[in-house]
Amino acid sequence: MEKQTLKIALAQFAPVWMNRQKTLEKALKYAADAADQGCELVVLGGEAGVPGYPYWLELTDGARFNSPVQKELFAEYSNQAVEIERGDLQIACDLARERKIAIYLGIVEKPVERGESLYAALVFIDQNGEIRSVQRKLVPTYEERLVWAHGDGNGLRVHSLNAFTVGGLNCWENWNPLARAALYGQGEDFHICVFPGGIHNTQDITRFIAKESRSFVASVCCVMRREDFPSETPHLDKILETAPAILSSGGTCLAAPDGEWLIAPLETEEKLVVAEINHQRVREERQNLDIVGHYSRPDVLQLKVSRERQNILKIED
Q: Report pLDDT digits (tens) over 51-67.
A: 999 999 999 999 999 99
Cis peptide before 51, with omega less than 30 degrees from 0? yes
pTM of this prediction exceeds 0.85 = yes
Arithmetic mean of pLDDT, 283-301 = 96
d(CA 74, CA 80): 10
Domain count, the chain: 1
Domain-located, residue 24: yes
The tens digit of pLDDT for each residue in 135-172 reads 999 999 999 999 999 999 999 999 999 999 999 999 99
Domain-located, residue 291: no
Nearest alpha carbon to residue 40 among 123, 130, 128, 155: 128
Domain of residue 250, residue span: 5-285
Domain-located, residue 192: yes
- Give residue 157's identity as a one-letter amino acid code: R
- pLDDT the model gives residue 52: 98
Domain-located, residue 302: no
Q: What is the DSSP string of 269-281?
A: --EEEEEEEETHH
107 within 8 A of 123, measured Cβ to Cβ = yes
Domain-located, residue 295: no
Domain-located, residue 304: no
Confidence of residue 94 (pLDDT cuts 50, 70, 90): very high
d(CA 46, CA 17): 13
Domain-located, residue 303: no
Q: What is the CATH number of the domain that holds 69?
A: 3.60.110.10
Reduce the secondary structure of 164-191 to three states and give it as a string: EEEEEEEHHHHHCHHHHHHHHCCCCCEE
List all residues 6 or more positions away from 225 whose beta carbon is below 8 Å from its beta carbon. Answer: 14, 245, 246, 247, 268
Domain-located, residue 136: yes
Kind and range of the H or E element at 3? none
Quick check: 313 pLDDT over 90? no
The tens digit of pLDDT for each residue in 31-58 reads 999 999 999 999 999 999 999 999 999 9
